[in-house]
Amino acid sequence: NMRSVVTAVFLFMSAISYAIGEAFVSLSADPLLVWNYGIISVLAAIAGVGFWAAHHKLDKEEDKLNFIAESSFKGRRHSFGVSNA
């Protein structure tokens, strides 16, 4: 069931984020929280660069797909004379 797969992925990602949060709880003793926010911002920047590196080619591919000519395919139901009314 696709619903259970999506829920499982959501819960897995939540567990990872909670584990990362627990790892940085000890840094919260600093009254200025410089290290806590600094490390999280550096990790977020690294993740952003990694995401861009993994998906930057998709923008060019999307532009190519947007210029594909429109199809005249009406669907299987239309070819059998079934209307949507």
- pTM above threshold 0.75: no
pLDDT in tens, 59-73: 778 877 777 777 777
Enter the DSSP assignment of 30: S
Query: Residue 27, class by beta-carbon neighbours within 10 Å (0-12 exposed, 13-18 middle, 19+ buried)?
Result: middle
pLDDT in tens, 4-38: 999 999 999 999 999 988 887 877 776 677 777 88
Asked whether residue 83 carries a pLDDT value surpassing 70, the answer given is no
pLDDT of 69: 77
pLDDT of 45: 95
pLDDT of 29: 74
pLDDT of 58: 85
